[in-house]
Chains A and B, each alone.
Chain A
């Protein structure tokens, strides 16, 4: 069955970087964009950007331009999201999701990765 399995929780200091992985299985990895969404405690989801696993093309939310990098390793059908220059406001659960193909409509989601930024 279709699965997106994310890496475990991270604790980082302000100014550091974090890289979250999203291992996929059960479908053709190259055929669907991967979307990254984060959600701070008690807040709504926040769209971070997309990546096309077939060619590596990406599109990032303006808010994260210059700080986020989305990549993939097609040989292991895994997507990655790296966020740099972390600050306390970046503490959130980060999700990867599969784009169904209708402008970032996400039909399958990872379990989420909690990133805590604290000195």
Chain B
């Protein structure tokens, strides 16, 4: 069980908007530590989508956006496309564990 909780799955039709939540605690997100988001396609390494809560690395479409509030963070994907079907993970630092942690992951299905 990760200290960062994500819904196991979300789904949406092409063109729709979906959000993926990442719920932490006062030991991690709530303390102000940055949240990062990754997309992972089967058989490949994770790809950085969002870092420092809301910054997109070069090359990541602006359909992807991140936000943080209190002890939670969210990844929003607008204009869903078939190629967005993947696993998504949040990541943050946890002071109790004295290290970084990943969420359990969310599988996005594009209907």
Q: Which of A10-18, A24-32, A101-109 contacts the other chain? A: A101-109
Is residue A95 within 8 Å, beta carbon to beta carbon, of the partner chain? yes
Cα distance A38–B55 when bound, in Å? 25
Q: Which residues of chain A come closer than 8 Å to B92, judged between CB atoms?
A: 103
Partner-B contacts on A (CB < 8 A): 35, 37, 44-47, 49, 59-62, 95, 97, 100, 102-107, 109-112
B48 close to A106 (CB less than 8 A): yes
Stretch of B10-18, B67-75, B78-86, B100-108 at the chain-chain interface: B100-108
Residues in A neighbouring B104, C-beta threshold 8 A: 44
Q: Find the residue from B87, B97, B102 having the highest chain A CB count within 10 A.
A: B102
* Set A49, A97, A104, A112: member contacting B93, Cβ < 8 A: A104
Q: Which residue of B lies closest to A96 (CB)?
A: B45
Query: Would you call B34 and A102 a contact (CB within 8 A)?
Result: yes
Would you mind naming 6 contact pairs between A and B with Cβ atoms under 8 Å apart? A44-B104, A46-B102, A100-B48, A102-B52, A103-B33, A112-B45
Residues of B within 8 A of A37 (CB): 46, 102
